[in-house]
Amino acid sequence: MKIVIAQMEHETNTFSPVETPWESFGPSGPYIGEEAYRAMKSTKTPIGAFIDVAESVNAEVITPVAGFAYPSGPVSGEAYDRFCNLIIGAIQEDCDLIMLDLHGAMVVKDRTLDGEGTLLGKIREAAPFTPIAVSLDLHANITAAMVNNANIIVGYKTYPHIDMYETGALAGDLLLQLHRGEINPKMSWSNIPLLAQTLKMNTSEGAMKEYAERAALSEQNPKVLVSSAFGGFPMADIPDAGMSAVVITNDDEQLARTECSEILEVAWKQKEEFIWEDTPLKEAISHAKSLAEGPILLLDHPDNCATGATQDTMTTLREALEQGLTDIAVGPIRDPEAVETLILAGLGAQVSLPVGGKTDMPAINKKGEPLQLTGIVKNITDGSYVITGPQFTGVEASMGRTVVFDTGDAEIVITEKLQEPWDRGVFTSVGIEPTQKKYLLLKSRMYFRPVFLPIAKHSVYCAGVGVGSSDWTMFNYEKIRRPIFPLDNIK
């Protein structure tokens, strides 16, 4: 038996000015062929699970491509075409089953608003009878094209996502059961007009927890093979953005439909609970100032690069400095120009320069606003460090050339590349001990939790500027279906 296994993952923030070329999907683009197999085997990812499931039945594994890019603006048409051609090329050769590790919120420039649905449609055309299993992120925006062109769809059940491998293992296993004729999957899906905010999608809290639990409850029915409760990705101006559910039963279409609507009903009844309310920035910083004991996390979540943001807006730091906060570690700020200037100036040099604010954000009508600062070049590194935190443990991360710029009140980590602060290494690798600082200004939304929350005395959400904002009034939606809550006031 031959199984084609591939990965094409991108969460597209259609408001982001950050480009997404082919090169974004790996160290120097996606892994191809044998390289994809070697890179992804034994990883705790859906594609890693697919490989294990396939090998457990001694199938021949064909891995045409594996690529994962961090959230950013729409994917380039060229990159998308290459993914599609590689996957379809492999399927056309000889293939019994197809397992795909996709995200479910990919938008492609000049091609499609539904990257995954369009790919699946092309695959179905090329191989009309070959069963397909798909794993998706919890932030997928499900479309009819995805559901109509796949046999099995399984989404992550957790956010932060800690069940990537389990999701792939389940999807792969169900596909094998289908292949052996042991089950007859009936898949139903539906969505509700609710544009939930990702900050309200922590699956261990509040309404999101109840929604996820209702999906888990439905799986206790032996006829239900899997139920996926998707949060959706709201920074996507596409018709199908928002919350949806997919339920697969063994040969019971009616049950799949009713479970699907009952799961969604749990979310809809509490729709207000999925909308994030920002505290004004001034107020948040002044609250942070009133707290005695550090470290205090200042979470500049709108500029989080893992939501597609530019990671160079300076509004929150400006406010913190204006209100007189001191002993702040900031990081990282992406500003290759400043890195170049500071490295040329050399270690120990005193420099005045504009920091950050180099990128305009036309989709939210904001121009980049650098912050003029004077300070000393305290450290220069190549920006690489090994992750010791619980996520991506052991992986070597690279921030590009990196400088610590010390203004007296703030030690700012300035990098060449985007880097989510998901590990203390963003500070420790450049000589800053985060536990010793009063304030840690992090451009983080969710992934500070496993590593920075345990060392923090307090955390304060700071409504700075950025295309990862949870203030939906900042975005000009044109293509999304209407009415939808909270853009429209529906009951």
Question: Minimum distance from CB of 268 to Zn ion (Å)?
Answer: 21
* Binding segment (CB under 5 A) for Zn ion, from list 137-145, 255-263, 285-293, 355-363: 137-145
Using CB under 5 A as the binding rule, whether residue 139 contacts Zn ion is answered as yes
* Binding segment (CB under 5 A) for Zn ion, from list 130-138, 166-174, 222-230, 434-442: 130-138
**Closest alpha carbon to 383 in 434, 420, 429:** 429
* Binding segment (CB under 5 A) for Zn ion, from list 63-71, 138-146, 293-301, 398-406: 138-146
Using CB under 5 A as the binding rule, whether residue 278 contacts Zn ion is answered as no
Question: Minimum distance from CB of 204 to Zn ion (Å)?
Answer: 15
* Binding segment (CB under 5 A) for Zn ion, from list 37-45, 116-124, 133-141, 142-150: 133-141
Helix (H, G, I), strand (E, B) or coil at 285: helix
Using CB under 5 A as the binding rule, whether residue 157 contacts Zn ion is answered as no
CA atoms within 13 A on the CB side of 125: 11
Question: Minimum distance from CB of 72 to Zn ion (Å)?
Answer: 14
Whichever of 44 and 458 has its CB closer to Zn ion, that residue is 44
Question: Minimum distance from CB of 320 to Zn ion (Å)?
Answer: 29
Question: Minimum distance from CB of 409 to Zn ion (Å)?
Answer: 35
Angle between helices 115-126 and 77-93 (to 10 degrees): 30
* Binding segment (CB under 5 A) for Zn ion, from list 134-142, 254-262, 275-283, 352-360: 134-142
Question: Minimum distance from CB of 138 to Zn ion (Å)?
Answer: 5
Whichever of 194 and 314 has its CB closer to Zn ion, that residue is 194
Using CB under 5 A as the binding rule, whether residue 101 contacts Zn ion is answered as no
Distance of CA 123 to the CA centre of its chain: 25
Question: Minimum distance from CB of 161 to Zn ion (Å)?
Answer: 6
According to CB under 5 A, which one of 101, 114, 116, 137 is a site residue for Zn ion? 137
Cβ pair 102, 135 in contact under 8 A: yes
**Closest alpha carbon to 74 in 104, 109, 102:** 109
Using CB under 5 A as the binding rule, whether residue 82 contacts Zn ion is answered as no
Q: How many residues belong to the site for Zn ion (CB under 5 A)?
A: 2
- Region for residue 311 given its phi and psi (left: phi exceeds 0; alpha: psi -120 to 50; beta: otherwise): left
Instruction: 274-278: list long-range contacts, CB under 8 Å, 24+ apart.
Output: 274/194, 274/196, 274/197, 274/200, 274/201, 274/207, 274/208, 274/243, 275/196, 275/197, 275/200, 275/472, 275/485, 275/486, 276/197, 276/199, 276/200, 276/470, 276/471, 278/461, 278/463, 278/470, 278/471
Whichever of 13 and 76 has its CB closer to Zn ion, that residue is 13
Using CB under 5 A as the binding rule, whether residue 445 contacts Zn ion is answered as no
Whichever of 51 and 136 has its CB closer to Zn ion, that residue is 136
* Binding segment (CB under 5 A) for Zn ion, from list 129-137, 214-222, 237-245, 247-255: 129-137
- Residue 396: Cβ within 10 Å count: 10
H helices, E strands: number in the chain: 12, 20
Whichever of 199 and 325 has its CB closer to Zn ion, that residue is 199
Helical (H) or strand (E) element with 77? helix 77-93
Question: Minimum distance from CB of 139 to Zn ion (Å)?
Answer: 4
- Residue 364: Cβ within 10 Å count: 18
Using CB under 5 A as the binding rule, whether residue 10 contacts Zn ion is answered as no
Helical (H) or strand (E) element with 226? strand 224-230
CB contact set of 364 (below 8 Å; sequence gap of 6+): 15, 465, 467, 469, 474, 475, 476
Cα distances (Å, whole numbers) of residue 75 to 24, 89, 351, 410, 417: 9, 21, 38, 36, 18
Using CB under 5 A as the binding rule, whether residue 401 contacts Zn ion is answered as no
Using CB under 5 A as the binding rule, whether residue 319 contacts Zn ion is answered as no
* Binding segment (CB under 5 A) for Zn ion, from list 51-59, 132-140, 332-340, 434-442: 132-140
- Residue type (1 letter), 116: E
Question: Minimum distance from CB of 93 to Zn ion (Å)?
Answer: 32
* Binding segment (CB under 5 A) for Zn ion, from list 36-44, 136-144, 242-250, 254-262: 136-144
Question: Minimum distance from CB of 179 to Zn ion (Å)?
Answer: 29
The closest residue (CB) to Zn ion is 139
- Binding site residues, Zn ion, CB under 5 A: 137, 139
